[in-house]
Amino acid sequence: MAVLVTGGAGYIGSHMVWRMLDQGEDVVVLDRLSTGFDWAVPAEAELILGDIADQALVEETIARRGIDAIIHFAGSIVVPDSVADPLGYYLNNTVKSRALIESAVRCGVPHFIFSSTAAVYGTPETSPVAEGAALQPESPYGTSKLMTEIMLRDAAAAHDLAYTVLRYFNVAGADPGLRTGQSTKGATHLIKVAAEAATGKRAGMDVFGTDYPTPDGTCIRDYIHVSDLADAHAAALARLRAGGASITANCGYGKGYSVLEVIDAVKRVTGRDFEIRLGERRAGDAVSIVADPALAKAEFGWRPRFDDLDTIVSHAVRWEEHLRVANSGKA
Ligand SMILES: NC(=O)c1ccc[n+]([C@@H]2O[C@H](COP(=O)([O-])OP(=O)(O)OC[C@H]3O[C@@H](n4cnc5c(N)ncnc54)[C@H](O)[C@@H]3O)[C@@H](O)[C@H]2O)c1
């Protein structure tokens, strides 16, 4: 019995691979390394270089390794890119996910966990937002994920497959032991960008919009530590293996921080100042997106361990320092 982690060479997937190995699972990673790194995959896991839509490869792997669960992280994740290239996003996130789900069904894989996103809610009508809220994605990225949620629901109704969809809010931080972290080039995630500014990797940073109807005028988001997110997947997998029914659940803490609060935390934790350029709003940014995490806590018994902004920031900054030292060694 083994677990297939698609996108396991990427940011969140590599944390999941470590999380699975830590609990003694056999792990197989399938990744085409479009944004991931082979060095992010621990030697204890088998790394298969390939595409999730290569059904011959996927089905051979499922049979050869006795896969009982697929945890599907592989995808394209940059919202503005999805606006510029919607068909590319529908291909990679929706069409190729369909092929993967079909392979799972054909091979009788009983459990499937899918990385979805708070972007399926668009601008939520309520904050915190619960799973039953209206689904009105505002980008091709969000729509591409919602369509995969729907395919999974319908495939599970027709076949012997149970799934968990996890809708992530803003994922940040790094493995506390620095075994992996966010290494994406040109990342746009706020905490990563601020950590790069604090470690001198970039000259200051921009803040997009200071006139939102929030206490300090900047947007509010719910930041979840990547290791807590991996724990939520592990708990979801245990629940599915115990016979749990298919479910869709938010993964966030239920607490929001503004852009300026996050930047202050990075400056406070590092003791370093850096330039902040206050600019205009960016198209498509919702004012506030905060999770109601009650369902994941009740259904999976998920208990976050790093629910603290300064802890998330300090792990992100330590990873950035680690990357800086590793890269200077290569120069
Ligand atoms: N990072 C976040 O804040 C966030 C928030 C919500 C949802 N998500 C979802 O979580 C998942 C993982 O995100 P991440 O931040 O780790 O991104 P990432 O870019 O670091 O990882 C994605 C991985 O998938 C691989 N990949 C992409 N397309 C592939 C394909 N067709 N076949 C094989 N491999 C492929 C890439 O090489 C990469 O290793 C994504 O599905 C994303 O939509 C992320």
CB of 15 closer than 8 Å to CB of 226: yes
DSSP bridge pairs for 129: 291
Residue 185 lies in a domain: no
The verdict on residue 298 lying in a domain is no
Task: Name residue 168's beta-bridge partners.
Answer: 117, 251
CB neighbour list of residue 138: distance below 8 Å, 6 or more residues apart: 119, 122, 123, 284, 286
Which residue in the list 141, 168, 212, 253 is annotated as catalytic?
141
Exposure string for 80-119, b = 16+ CB within 10 A, e = fewer: ebbeeeeeebbebbbebbeebbbbbbebebbbbbbbbbbb
Asked if residue 239 and residue 159 are part of one domain, the reply reads yes
Residue to mutate, 15, 17, 29, 35, ligand 1, most ligand atoms under 8 Å from C-beta: 35
300 inside domain: no
230 lies in the same domain as 289: no
Model's pTM, two decimal places?
A: 0.97
Residue 54 lies in domain: 2-172+223-251
H-helix or E-strand spanning residue 57: helix 55-65
Asked whether residue 133 falls in the same domain as residue 276, the answer is no
pLDDT at 88: 98
If one counts the domains in the chain, the total is: 2
The CA 215 to ligand 1 mean position distance, Å, reads 33
Same domain, 39 and 20: yes
In a domain, 235, yes or no: yes
Active site (annotated) includes residue 141 = yes
Residues 229, 216 share a domain: no
Same domain, 148 and 261: no
Residue 289 Cβ contacting ligand 1 at under 6 Å: no
Residue 157 lies in a domain: yes
Sort strands 46-49 and 67-72 into parallel, antiparallel or unpaired: unpaired
Whose alpha carbon is nearest atom 18 of ligand 1? 10
d(CA 152, CA 158): 10
Regarding whether 164 and 77 lie in a shared domain, the answer is yes
318: domain CATH number is 3.90.25.10
Helix 226-241 and helix 11-22, axial crossing angle in degrees, nearest 10 = 60
| Residue 179 included in any domain | no
Ligand 1 mutation target, pool 4, 34, 228, most atoms within 8 A of CB: 34
pLDDT at 329: 63
Mark whether 210 and 77 lie in a shared domain.
no
Tell me whether residue 148 is in a domain: yes
* Domain assignment of residue 111, yes or no: yes
Q: What is the CATH number of the domain that holds 73?
A: 3.40.50.720
Residue 255: exposure state from Cβ atoms within 10 A (0-12, 13-18, ≥19): middle
Residues 34 and 138 in one domain: yes
Residues 239, 269 share a domain: no
Residues 153 and 210 in one domain: no
CA distances in angstroms from 280 to 84, 115, 206, 310, listed in the order given: 20, 31, 10, 27
User: Is residue 252 within 6 Å of ligand 1 at its C-beta?
Assistant: no
Residues 81 and 103 in one domain: yes
pLDDT mean values, one per 10 residues, the chain (331 residues) = 98 98 98 97 98 98 98 95 96 98 98 98 92 96 98 98 98 98 91 96 95 96 98 98 98 98 97 97 87 97 97 98 83 38
Q: How many residues does the chain have?
A: 331
Across 164-179, b (16+ Cβ under 10 Å) vs e yields bbbbbbbbbbbbeeee
Task: Specify which residues 28 forms β-bridges with.
Answer: 4, 46
Residues 6+ apart with CB under 8 A from 109: 4, 62, 67, 68, 69, 70, 103, 161
